Structure 1
């Protein structure tokens, strides 16, 4: 195992923290050069750590995605399969609403296996969603034709559709209600 120099680790952490702040302020299309400047490093340092914007987005979201995966795994043992799926989907929607543009930048690339942008994190997220949906199908509480990729795309679409609205939380909740009701068998 190669030891990471303390300054390199500090730079990495500063870049992730400043990206988190910038993404919250400006969305995931925030200027990478500005993120590097705020972190006190050169742009080249940012690109050495994060060759693509998606790499930086994933680093910012890694902890949140891990929490979503853990929540989903915990829901696999819940008594009510439909409520378990709905709970996890709501948490996924809340996550997608965290940063403007997140749903377009991450959700679609995470589901588009042919592009090759599926990271380990997003593959796990997709996997747990598929397990929750399969469990709900087996319990007969979700329509048999419901496809996990379509459901996750719809969650991402809801986040995208409401991202620039004044009442985004209320609209997201209303659209989420329609989605969940449409899943019922």
Structure 2
């Protein structure tokens, strides 16, 4: 083993440890904010992650940094789900499975998103545009795929779909209510091809 190899291995180990600590902090913060809201004590985040406060502030210097990271991770998970659904054979079902996750996200993560933008040094409009663009891109691909298959009305734009579904989430009385309203919207989105029963063998 060369001197360079010996020097490189500890650096790699430190980078791996740092990445693991950041992931543990993110998971702990996500759980804590879910339980107690975005004003939960940051000391408890470090305790749950099993690291010291210095490690917490090295990765996330401010509450805003941590809130933005947690919400961005939620958006990334929703987008990852959408990309996986692009492989589903039923195009309408893939779209509405993702939209169900989208309305749950809007209904349950709005407070987190507002807190993240409030505490961040980045302008609120810039943050919301970044997050919205990520979700819009996935929705657009799922919608276009369903429209090409003829299972969703061709006159619907992605802006229409997201406006109607997000409005449903924001005005509903509960997450369950939002999901029920989405099923009402579904009846207006799908074509007869998507809603027709399968042919008997």
TM-score higher than 0.5 here? Answer: yes
| Mapped pair 1:86 → 2:86 | no
1:43-93 per-residue CA deviation (whole Å, 9 max, x = no partner) reads: 74322696363233213x266335413332223xx1x43233222222333
Write the distance in 2 (CA, Å) between the matches of 1:48 and 1:9.
Answer: 18
In the TM superposition, 1:92-131 aligns within 5 A as 92-99=102-109, 101=111, 115-117=125-127, 118-119=129-130, 123-131=133-141
Aligned length: 165
SS, match of residue 65 in structure 2: coil
Residue number in structure 1 paired with 2:45: 38
**Ranges of 4+ aligned residues in structure 1 off by more than 6 Å:** 103-106
Deviation of 1:16 (Å)? 0.7
Match of 2:87 in 1: 74
Q: Distance in 2 between matches of 1:147 and 1:36?
A: 45
* Distance in structure 2 (CA, Å) of the matches to 1:95 and 1:35: 23
For the pair shown, which has the larger CA radius of gyration, 1 or 2? 2
> Could you say which structure has the higher helix fraction?
2
Q: Which runs of 5+ in 1 are unaligned?
A: 107-114
Contact 1:93–1:159 (8 Å) recurs in 2: yes
1:174 is aligned to 2:184: no
In 2, are the aligned partners of 1:85 and 1:132 still within 8 Å (CA)?
yes
1:109 equivalent in structure 2: none
- CA RMSD of superposed structures (Å): 3.7
Selected match of 2:68 from 54, 68, 84: 54
Q: Which runs of 5+ in 2 are unaligned?
A: 1-10, 48-52, 117-124, 192-201
